[in-house]
């Protein structure tokens, strides 16, 4: 809830904490990051289960804007957490009989290649261009779902 500056999570800049000459106390920052992380995780998990998505849409901005890590680190960390939330949601959908495994397998063949390409792409193409393009695609998809 603190309106701390976006770089607040960086371990080297806690100048206000006057330690005893030992290492500056980064413990409070780390603990609050755990609490923030848990909050972001619950929100992301609900979105993942409700909409059948990964939840990165919540995790990435949560990590960047609230915890203050870089976009690139947020993308990598987010996708690691998606392993857990998507697994939990998938179990629920499988129990309800709402998974088409053969279609999923076929899509995954393409996605496996895409994942490797995308991780490289993120290090080459400016984030701004990727994000803006993606936003346009989402608007089109969103309107189609509503109509």
H runs (alpha helix) in the chain:
27-51, 56-61, 71-95, 101-124, 127-146
Contacting other proteins within 78-137 (CB under 8 A): 78-94, 96, 98-101, 103-104, 106-123, 125-128, 130-132, 134-137
Q: According to the binding rule CB under 8 A, does residue 51 interact with other proteins?
A: yes
Q: According to the binding rule CB under 8 A, does residue 145 interact with other proteins?
A: yes
Q: According to the binding rule CB under 8 A, does residue 7 interact with other proteins?
A: no
Separation CA 80–CA 12 (nearest Å): 25
Closest separation between CB of residue 18 and other proteins, Å?
25
Closest separation between CB of residue 3 and other proteins, Å?
17
Separation CA 37–CA 9 (nearest Å): 12
């Amino acid at each position: 809830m603190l309106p701390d500056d976006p770089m607040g999570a960086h371990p080297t800049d806690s100048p206000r904490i006057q330690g005893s000459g030992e290492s500056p106390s980064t413990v409070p920052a780390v603990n609050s990051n755990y609490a923030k992380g848990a909050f972001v995780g619950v929100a992301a998990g609900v979105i993942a289960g409700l909409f059948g998505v990964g939840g990165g849409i919540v995790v990435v901005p949560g990590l960047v804007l609230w915890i203050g890590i870089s976009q690139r680190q947020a993308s990598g960390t987010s996708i690691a957490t998606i392993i857990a939330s998507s697994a939990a949601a998938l179990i629920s959908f499988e129990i309800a009989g709402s998974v088409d495994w053969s279609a999923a397998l076929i899509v995954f063949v393409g996605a496996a290649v895409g994942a490797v390409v995308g991780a490289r792409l993120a290090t080459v193409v400016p984030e701004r261009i990727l994000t803006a393009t993606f936003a346009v695609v989402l608007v089109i998809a969103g309107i189609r779902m509503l109509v």
